[in-house]
Amino acid sequence: MQRFLILILLFMTLFEAQCQTIPSTEVAQQAFKQHSTYKEPAIQNRRFKHQDIVPLLEKLKQHPLFEVEVVGKSVEERDLYLVKAGTGEIKVMLWSQMHGDESTATMALFDLFNFLQQSDQLDPVRQQILQNLTLYIVPMLNPDGAEQFKRRNALQLDLNRDALRLQSPEAQLLKSLRDSLNPEFGFNLHDQSRHYTVGTTSKPATISFLAPAFDHAQTVNTVRDRAMRTIVGMNEALQQLIPGQVAKYSDEHEPRAFGDNIQKWGTSVILIESGGYQDDPEKQLIRQLNFASIVSALHLIAENGYTNYALEDYYRIPENERYLYDVVVRNVRYEDNNMNILLDFGIIRDEVPSPNDKGFYHRSSVQEIGDMSVFYGYEDIDGKGLTLVPGKVYSKPFKSIAALTPERTRELLLDGYTTVRVEKLSSANITPSDLPLNVTALNSKINHTLRLEGGANFVLKGADGKVKYAIVNGFVYNLQGDKPALFHGLVL
Ligand SMILES: [Zn+2]
């Protein structure tokens, strides 16, 4: 009888402990809310390099919670690090930035290292993660690519197409870690285009997930099943933070990719793709979401919480589509070949790294012309009643850019000019991000006519002939307002 009572007591205690666990949605909320207390201050923008993270990793070595080891070298002989934390039975491996220009998750991983060291109301979650899991983390798998903020490694190979041939030392390392550790779960951390949308909606796919298929039939075995259910839980948690902004990456099987193969080799792989978010050019909010998402996933795995989610909900997550442009201008009239037509046009802004710092500027182009009623713009302008006119080049040269005061710039734009000539342009040390207008040399030939792949330098005129909007290098200035921000010109 006494034994029976003890058993009942034990059961009640266990039951209580179960009830005390924080739901994963709540974990994600809290991790998101408190992110600033974990955010690694040494990394503030996306173009950090290997030399920026090495001191952080070396410092981590001093902390008893972590084992930090150099486990390989890149083609250009940069050290590849493995960080181990936790003592649990379930092994989870996370690797980021196998594409050198996809750094959002690397930032989130350094925030995770800080999170694991701290103490606050998330202690139960932290303890559960460290007790039930052993984490193996490779931040920045492709440091040579990161050095130039390029996708490929120094051999010009895409590491994510090198999972079978294994010609890159970075790919060899990932494969050998996978095989020697044989983790139950793997997190494959990437960035995707900010122009991806959640299905055909106007919402950017800020985070996309995938449990990669290990064959063309997209078979679901127990390995893939676990990844899919975990994703359903992560999606539920993220939906509270960014409703309608989570999608599923195309699950077509890619035989040469790591995610697909690691799934095949027996590790449940979760792909996280960081996409775009309105007004977050350095992806710091997406970093925060990434962090919250990873913490909620680790929590789910640590308590087997993913088993509570239904497989069919994985298929309900909308797929990535590509319906977003940076700017869409709609319903403008345009004169071409002696015809007056109604059209929309879409602008894409490509990033160009700044020469002197870790920032970037934009070089924009027109990427669609015509009926764009199914597409959306991060900036979406109805130009009904307006006529599109190519921007003009002001012929009288300016001595220096300093003469382009905000007042003068506004006058020029109102007169239809988007580009000015500047004397001695070649000797001037110009940072494009400081330019209110496009500037060009005295003898250059410039044509701002609307054309596909061409630059986006126009004015939009009202029926009264007055310029209402100017577009300089793909940035729209509303000239009906007071003082538009005018710093996106290019050197042409
Ligand atoms: Zn990638």
- DSSP H stretches of helix in 85-204: 104-117, 123-132, 143-148, 169-181
Amino acid identity, position 201: T
Residue 242 has pLDDT above 50, yes or no: yes
Q: Calculate how far, in angstroms, residue 372's C-alpha sits from the geometric centre of ligand 1.
A: 28
Residue 492 has pLDDT above 80, yes or no: no
Q: Calculate how far, in angstroms, residue 192's C-alpha sits from the geometric centre of ligand 1.
A: 7
For residue 15, the model assigns a pLDDT of 47
Question: Phi/psi zone of residue 473: left (φ > 0), alpha (ψ -120 to 50 degrees), beta?
Answer: left
Q: Calculate how far, in angstroms, residue 340's C-alpha sits from the geometric centre of ligand 1.
A: 43
Average pLDDT estimate for 109-114: 98
The pair of structure tokens assigned to 248 is 């599923």
Half-sphere exposure of 294 (CA within 13 A, CB side): 35
Amino acid identity, position 483: K
Which residues does 37 contact at the CB level (< 8 Å), separation at least 6? 118, 120
For residue 491, the model assigns a pLDDT of 79
Please state, in angstroms and as integers, the Cα–Cα distance from residue 417 to each residue in 19, 364, 390, following that order. Answer: 67, 17, 9
Residue 332 has pLDDT above 70, yes or no: yes
Q: Is 268 helix (H, G, I), strand (E, B) or coil?
A: strand
For residue 17, the model assigns a pLDDT of 46
DSSP 159: G
What's the mean per-residue pLDDT of the chain?
A: 93
- Closest to 399 (Cα-Cα) out of 416, 418, 422, 377: 422
Residue 103 binned pLDDT confidence (cut-offs 50, 70, 90): very high
Q: Of all residues in the chain, what percent carry a pLDDT higher than 90? A: 83
To which H or E segment does residue 350 belong? Answer: strand 339-353
Distance CA 181, CA 165 (A): 20
Q: Calculate how far, in angstroms, residue 159's C-alpha sits from the geometric centre of ligand 1.
A: 9
Q: Calculate how far, in angstroms, residue 375's C-alpha sits from the geometric centre of ligand 1.
A: 24
Q: Calculate how far, in angstroms, residue 329's C-alpha sits from the geometric centre of ligand 1.
A: 30
Half-sphere exposure of 334 (CA within 13 A, CB side): 21
Cβ–Cβ < 8 Å for 269, 253:
no
For residue 353, the model assigns a pLDDT of 83
Distance CA 300, CA 294 (A): 10
Question: What's the whole-model pTM score?
Answer: 0.92
Q: Calculate how far, in angstroms, residue 188's C-alpha sits from the geometric centre of ligand 1.
A: 9
C-alpha of 8 from chain center:
50
Residue 426 has pLDDT above 70, yes or no: no
For residue 486, the model assigns a pLDDT of 66
Q: Calculate how far, in angstroms, residue 26's C-alpha sits from the geometric centre of ligand 1.
A: 29
Cβ–Cβ < 8 Å for 82, 69:
yes
Q: Calculate how far, in angstroms, residue 322's C-alpha sits from the geometric centre of ligand 1.
A: 16
- Closest to 97 (Cα-Cα) out of 258, 209, 242: 258
β-strands 376-382, 90-96: how paired? Answer: unpaired
Residue 68 binned pLDDT confidence (cut-offs 50, 70, 90): very high
Q: Calculate how far, in angstroms, residue 104's C-alpha sits from the geometric centre of ligand 1.
A: 11
For residue 360, the model assigns a pLDDT of 84
Residue 13 has pLDDT above 60, yes or no: no
Residue 56 has pLDDT above 80, yes or no: yes
For residue 432, the model assigns a pLDDT of 65
